């Protein structure tokens, strides 16, 4: 499942193909993914120039000179393919540029989404309206987290997954960052000291940046036809490593809570 670093890598991979180009071909090969595509999607995008790309949480943003932003979400299995040699059953949406290049959104499980939002109103768009700061932004700092968690008795892990506290963090990176910061996933958010929250913020930024760099190092593969954006293998500290040894000599454990698995080291993350 694509998380923030995969979305960031995807956006960076789309930039050389789309940025500054005019969209000469826009093809929706079905009417929906998780929800219906905007009915005027093709009309509003065809002939528009892409002025820039960006990311908010786990959404990719493609801005146009018509004041519209195409917002994409990769859901569980979405990915963009670049200059595909053929277009198949799971390729649901295609953009072609005046340079003759093409990108297609491939999504076998169809949990992704495509929306067109007026660029000027993006911050007020429903999924973004109540979202917390970007984890890699300057606003996400120890002082902010101290305020956001003040008086909260919920486990820190659940609070970090709450998009109103911080945007775009998923299960894998929360497990990894809590391990790096040496904080128990079940610790009440409001009972973590300022210095430990500072460490946690640094750990979150570190694990995300490392993953984005890992993705970036695979970007060269996207230059070739049929390059697929969005997935790369990473080495985790605790995630998916139940029963393996942590660096401290203790065994990594897994706990199941509300449908998600938490991986942690009982020795490194005692409190
Ligand atoms: Zn350990």
First to last CA, the chain: 29
| d(CA 266, ligand 1 centre) in Å | 7
* pLDDT for the residue 233: 67
Tokens at 138, concatenated: 């300057």
Which residues have CB less than 5 Å away from ligand 1 (the ion)? 246, 248, 250, 265, 267-268
- Please state the pTM of the whole predicted model: 0.92
Q: Measured in angstroms, how far is the CA atom of residue 56 from the centroid of ligand 1?
A: 33
Which sequence positions are flagged as catalytic?
2-3, 58, 260
pLDDT for the residue 220: 56
The total of other beta-carbon atoms located within 10 Å of residue 177's CB is: 25
- Cα separation of 152 and 134, whole Å? 20
Measured in degrees and rounded to the nearest 5, phi and psi for residue 219 equal -60, -30
Alpha carbon distance 194, 265 (integer Å): 22
At residue 169, the pLDDT reads 95
CA of 173 to the centre of ligand 1 (A): 17
- pLDDT (0 to 100) of residue 218: 64
Rounding to the nearest 10 degrees, give the CA dihedral for residues 183, 189, 194, 195. 0
How far is the CA of 217 from the CAs of 129, 139, 213, in angstroms? 33, 27, 6
pLDDT the model gives residue 214:
83
**Residue stretches of the chain with pLDDT short of 50:** 225
For residue 140, the CA-to-ligand 1 centroid distance in Å is: 27
Q: Give the pair of three-digit tokens for residue 38.
A: 């905007």
């Amino acid at each position: 499942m694509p998380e923030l670093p995969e979305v960031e890598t995807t956006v960076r991979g789309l930039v050389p193909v789309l940025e500054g180009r005019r969209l000469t071909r826009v093809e929706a090969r079905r009417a929906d993914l998780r929800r219906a595509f905007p009915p005027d999607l093709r009309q509003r995008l065809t002939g528009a120039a892409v002025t820039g790309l960006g990311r908010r949480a786990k959404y990719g943003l493609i801005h146009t000179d018509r004041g519209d932003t195409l917002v994409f979400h990769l859901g569980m299995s979405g990915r963009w393919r670049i200059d595909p040699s053929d277009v198949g059953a799971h390729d649901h949406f295609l953009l072609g540029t005046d340079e003759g290049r093409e990108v297609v959104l491939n999504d076998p499980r169809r949990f992704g989404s495509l929306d067109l939002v007026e660029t000027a109103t993006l911050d007020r768009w429903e999924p973004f309206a109540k979202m917390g700061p970007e984890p890699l932004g300057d606003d996400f700092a120890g002082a902010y987290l101290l305020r956001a968690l003040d008086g909260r008795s919920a486990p820190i892990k659940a609070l970090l997954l709450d998009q109103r506290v911080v945007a775009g963090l998923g299960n894998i990176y929360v497990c990894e960052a809590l391990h790096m910061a040496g904080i128990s996933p079940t610790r009440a958010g409001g009972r973590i000291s300022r210095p430990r929250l500072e460490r946690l913020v640094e750990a979150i930024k570190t694990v995300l940046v490392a993953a984005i760099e890992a993705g970036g190092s695979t970007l060269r593969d996207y230059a070739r036809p049929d390059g697929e954006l969005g997935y790369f293998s990473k080495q985790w500290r605790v995630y998916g490593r139940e029963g393996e040894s942590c660096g401290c000599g203790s065994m990594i454990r897994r706990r199941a809570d509300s449908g998600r698995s938490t991986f942690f080291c009982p020795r490194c993350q005692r409190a």
